[in-house]
Structure 1
Amino acid sequence: MSCEDMAAEVGRKPQFYMCSCFTTNNIFLDDYKLHVRFVSEHQFRLDYQTQLTRLGCVTDQQYEEVLDKIHKEVDRRRQLCVVSADRAAVIQRTYRPLHPHVYHLQEAFLTPQLKQIVEYCRSSSADKEGLMELLEEEPAPRVYRFPVFQKSFCEELMEELEHFEQSSAPKGRPNTMNHYGILLNELGFDEGFITPLREHYLHPVTSLLYPDCGGCCLDSHKAFVVKYDMNEDLDLSYHYDNAEVTLNVSLGKEFTDGNLYFGDMRQVPVCETECTEVEHKVTEGLLHRGQHMHGALPISFGQRWNIIIWMRASQERNKLCPMCNKSPCLVEGDGFADGFTKHEAPLNTSCALA
């Protein structure tokens, strides 16, 4: 299926799936800043005990604490779809938004610069060279900056998010690395805000910038907000995203430091990589490949909120799961799940996890 055919099917709402590696791979051990794979305690000990000892896990008690955290995370992932759907239902039933209009994308929310960029990308004469005249390319390769949201909208969205955070509604964390934040699909932003933003404004841009890694075929996403605070998460460890293309927009508030840094693609050994620091400015977005290794330096003052959109192309990930580097073994999930579909056949039917 061509990119054009895939783009035409965006509105048809295919069923999306997860790869079975979701419950075994890329489990983050915060105390040791280490991503691990866990299939069994025997496998885990063989693969990681020496490395954990080198990182300071030297007693039996520390090792048992690691195993306990892993088991809890695996259980959380296995129950995630059901628990998330239950949370979303409770939120819809009990939460009263402070600013209901922010849940529905309006052009007035967007900066004139973004609208100019998108208008160019939609034109019949658009090409990457012309687009680059409208973008700011960062020193990190293929990382681009542009203003996304008006400051007034960022402030209203922040008020809405804080209102939700202070409510009694149930809340789920975005992922294993971010302990403070909001899952935007559970709050009700997917259909009226994130999906049209991806389809009508971001897709024309990514089609020109990232045609080689799914930018012209994006058909799903995962969107969430992360929060950095002096008393909570300060930074974000070096990692790659479960996405083909990522947009990271700084919403506010007042903060100092906390820049992003980029290395190389995840296939390049860390020891061979030099990182490049990139400033993150309020209202502006940084667009990059999901497999581009990156992290966030600690803030030294204040509070920072970012909206993250992991954009996914089933045409790419159906061939190779970006998290386990294997042909995906599909399991059912809710909503956009992890962006896999059954469009591409045949997929590997062997689901062995050993």
Structure 2
Amino acid sequence: MKNEEDGKSPFYICSCFTTDNIFLEDYKLHVRFVTEQQFRLDYRKLLERLGCVTEQQFEDVLKKISQEVDRRRCLVVTSAERATVIKDVYRPLHSHVYHLQESYLAPKFKQIVEFCRSSCVSEEGLFDLLEEEAARRVYRFPVFEKSFCEELVEELEHFEQSSAPKGRPNTMNHYGILLNELGFDEGFITPLREQYLHPLTSLLYPDCGGRCLDSHKAFVVKYDMNEDLDLSYHYDNAEVTLNVSLGKDFTEGNLYFGDLRQVPLNETECSEVEHKVTDGLLHRGQQMHGALPISSGQRWNLIIWMRASQERNKLCPMCNRRPTLEEGEGFADGFTKHPAPLLNASCALT
């Protein structure tokens, strides 16, 4: 994703990336940090109520925030460096899984996409083909064949066990893999988004950028009895999210969904959703959700945060301010200086 004239990516990040939505795992809290004085004024009393009562505990919080801010400031460079090293040193186990083929896709998913592409498409007809979970605009459908899920997990485990460098998928997940660094974007994730998911999101989420998705961030997360067990209540840095359960064998660990993040927590109830292997759950990125703990085994999930620059250029979904742009690599965080050319035509037509 480079601009041919200057060699730079046409996508940008918002400057809030280094200040906002810093997750304090010990207190299950997202915070904003600009200065220590601001942080003390904004969060000292709240943290005390959550159990951070001594000055040493507070200093430990500040140290963790400093480490996270430093990680984010270096992320563009370190991620690009990791991708270069991975390309040089890593030898895939199943090289074919890096390139999307229709044979990988579940027949029901292909039927749904074909219907969305057809001349007789309608919202009513599409809803007949999908499972809507708890009337919250969360939709379930099979995405991949089980045999493909098994091969993909084998490839991910092979990479995980290799000596190649690895980065955290995001602030909240400690275990998993950034798929752009591993080389999945061009041949797999981009065609999946553009050719197969775009017809669905155009119909299901036209009000939040579903017709104009022009970038993404894709990663896998892993839950294991000795690693991450669950995922706290949160929203995504995305307009639309697809979460596919890849396997392996696990018990419990259902997802739960609330309302949009603008709705106060005490005014909404959460609905629990079982996440079956090969199935995808499609939902709005700003919808609050989380994952309950697994009680045995190991689970791998493929997450695709799909973004619409036409929407996020107006208002950053993470800081709720007009984005202040900084240079990024690849799809960055999906902001552009000008209307992105990839899907603008289809925005007007679909």
> TM class by shorter-chain length?
over 0.9
CA distance in 1, matches of 2:34, 2:249: 43
Aligned residue in 2 for 1:163: 158
Aligned residue in 2 for 1:242: 237
> How far does residue 271 in structure 1 lie from its aligned partner after superposition?
1.6
- 1:262-341 map, 5 Å: 262-341=257-336
CA distance in 2, matches of 1:293, 1:246: 12
CA distance in 2, matches of 1:249, 1:129: 24
Match of 1:231, SS state, is: coil
CA distance in 2, matches of 1:32, 1:14: 36
Cα root mean square deviation, aligned: 1.1
- 1:69-218 map, 5 Å: 69-218=64-213
- Give CA deviations for 1:34-84 in whole Å, capped at 9, x if unaligned: 000000000000100000000000111110000000001000000000000
Residues 99 and 156 in structure 1, CA contact (< 8 A), matched pair in contact too: yes
- 1:51-66 map, 5 Å: 51-66=46-61
> How far does residue 125 in structure 1 lie from its aligned partner after superposition?
2.0
Residues 245 and 300 in structure 2, CA contact (< 8 A), matched pair in contact too: yes
Aligned residue in 1 for 2:254: 259
Residues 245 and 276 in structure 2, CA contact (< 8 A), matched pair in contact too: yes
Residues 140 and 276 in structure 1, CA contact (< 8 A), matched pair in contact too: no
User: How many residue pairs are counted as aligned between the two chains?
Assistant: 333
Aligned residue in 2 for 1:22: 17
Residues 9 and 330 in structure 2, CA contact (< 8 A), matched pair in contact too: no
> How far does residue 160 in structure 1 lie from its aligned partner after superposition?
0.2
Q: Choose which of 227, 233, 249 in structure 1 pairs with 2:228.
A: 233
**Which amino acid in 2 is paired with 1:37?**
R
Match of 1:303, SS state, is: strand
CA distance in 2, matches of 1:123, 1:205: 12
**Which amino acid in 2 is paired with 1:263?**
G
| Deviating more after overlay: 121-130 vs 58-67 | 121-130
> How far does residue 273 in structure 1 lie from its aligned partner after superposition?
1.6
Percent identical across equivalent pairs? 82
> How far does residue 233 in structure 1 lie from its aligned partner after superposition?
0.2
CA distance in 2, matches of 1:336, 1:124: 32
CA spacing shift, 1:95–1:254, aligned 2, 3 Å: same
TM-score normalised by the chain length of structure 2: 0.94
- Give CA deviations for 1:9-51 in whole Å, capped at 9, x if unaligned: xxxx970000000000000000000000000000000100000
- Give CA deviations for 1:251-277 in whole Å, capped at 9, x if unaligned: 000000000000110001112121000
CA distance in 2, matches of 1:83, 1:67: 23
Runs of 4+ in structure 1 off by over 4 angstroms are none
Residues 28 and 35 in structure 1, CA contact (< 8 A), matched pair in contact too: yes
- Give CA deviations for 1:98-117 in whole Å, capped at 9, x if unaligned: 00000000000001101100
Unpaired segments ≥5 residues, structure 1: 1-12, 346-354
CA distance in 2, matches of 1:245, 1:277: 19
Match of 1:133, SS state, is: helix
Unpaired segments ≥5 residues, structure 2: 1-7, 341-350
CA distance in 2, matches of 1:344, 1:99: 37
CA distance in 2, matches of 1:225, 1:344: 29
> How far does residue 335 in structure 1 lie from its aligned partner after superposition?
0.3
CA distance in 2, matches of 1:210, 1:273: 21
CA distance in 1, matches of 2:135, 2:53: 37
- Give CA deviations for 1:191-220 in whole Å, capped at 9, x if unaligned: 000000000000000000000000000000
Match of 1:77, SS state, is: helix
> How far does residue 185 in structure 1 lie from its aligned partner after superposition?
0.2
